[in-house]
């Protein structure tokens, strides 16, 4: 099983709108690709929140092939939507992990 983790620090001034958009629009679009069978969104605790709140969004894929298909066919457009919508209001990095 593969975990695709996206860690995002979102600025406080857009936090509430971003959180709603992620839950109602972005995450459902990622899942609608059919390449991930589960997800969870976690708020990172014990972290300085003076300039933003940090989340980890984890998507579960059955195998690396599904992840690579997502990256090739869907990720560029979906990531661009976030960049266009929130421009300089967030920082993100992505990690791919295998469950052991």
pLDDT 10s digits, 74-100: 999 999 999 999 999 999 999 999 999
Sketch the domain layout of the chain as residue ranges: 2-98
pTM for the whole structure: 0.93
pLDDT, average across residues 53-67? 98
User: Which token pair is 38?
Assistant: 């589960």
β-bridge mates for residue 7, sequence order: 56, 93
CATH number of the domain located at residue range(s) 2-98 in this protein? 3.30.70.100
47 has pLDDT over 90: no
């Amino acid at each position: 099983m593969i975990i695709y983790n996206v860690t995002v620090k979102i600025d406080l001034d857009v936090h509430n709108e971003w959180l709603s958009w992620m839950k109602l629009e972005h995450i459902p679009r990622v899942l609608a690709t059919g390449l991930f069978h589960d997800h969870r969104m976690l708020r990172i605790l014990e972290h300085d929140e003076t300039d933003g709140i940090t989340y980890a969004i984890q998507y579960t894929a059955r195998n690396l092939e599904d992840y690579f298909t997502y990256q090739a066919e869907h990720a560029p457009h979906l990531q661009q939507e976030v960049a266009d919508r929130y421009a300089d209001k967030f920082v993100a990095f992505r990690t791919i992990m295998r469950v052991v």
